Structure 1
């Protein structure tokens, strides 16, 4: 049976026992049928990945002891995904896939055509953590609270932002990816409004990009754009050559 892989908020040090997070003890004992002495893999986004053992387990309580550092923590990397707030299932799917695709941060944005006016950040963060455990990445993407598009643009630090702009003449996305780990903005179902596109085009740090000749669903656009970025300038481009 595979070794369970779990995210923790606690510091990871050799021989230093830590409590399992809520739900993890029950998962290890009742679902995975693990017992004292069995191995788990732990990561926290700061201290690398560790092989650990179960030192105690009872119902939903467990104590885990890191023993061996398996992989050191690399510097934070990956594209940033800004995505208009979508319906619950679509938003959860985007967060899961963006985590698997290596996004280092996910920022929900409220636009004129966004269906919801808020997102369940706690639920989305749980989905991101579970996806990070499954895909073997060493961190969980930062997940911001939803914010209006104009507020996001006003507070932007000036770094390049690529905005998907359907139905408007724009440069192909591949040609816009000129630096590693860019930020990508995906609009809602129905797309950005004309005034929103004008506001984006008026910002010197924004490049309007085309995602091809077809109109994509917002969730399809998000994962497609991340895949293109990772293939051209991200970790897909160099993985296996190190």
Structure 2
């Protein structure tokens, strides 16, 4: 099936879920395993990643998520897992979030690395590893998500939303925390390569920001809770 044929099938309602920025297919596996959707389609711009995803048995549309038009209410749910941080700026992220909401009937789910703790870590001479990667130009904070989603809610694009955190980081010795002197592209702390860092307890620091967006009255945040893998909600829209 060609990309155009798959896109036509998507627009005709032939899939249950849409994974925006599907990469190599790992997030699509998560959608199937965690949420129980059988008919999942992904959108990604990278030919190499799409090739690997297809080799894994996934259905992919090779397209720019910012530019592609998929239609309205064509799937039950949309997923943006570790994707928005790869976009050039918050403007493109807002565009894709709006598209995802309009394309879905019930809910949209977002996960990305936490960037908001770096101000605190900086005081300790530390930072998150992912916060300086060139592949992460769009480093949205929870306040950024609130700003974007509040505006979309005001436009009637969504019903309600929640913002939270997943996977707490208990100490500065976690491998995702590096000294400021480490290479900007370093993925994890290595005591043989990097300067020593202080061993200190941390509170309120997490690996991920998690967002759940309700689009219709049928969506129940509490019922969906066990599937969302969220440790703490910090904002609930009213």
Q: TM-score range by the shorter chain?
A: 0.3 to 0.5
Give the TM-score normalised by the residue count of structure 2: 0.33
TM, length-normalised to structure 1 = 0.32
Which structure would you say has the larger Rg? 1
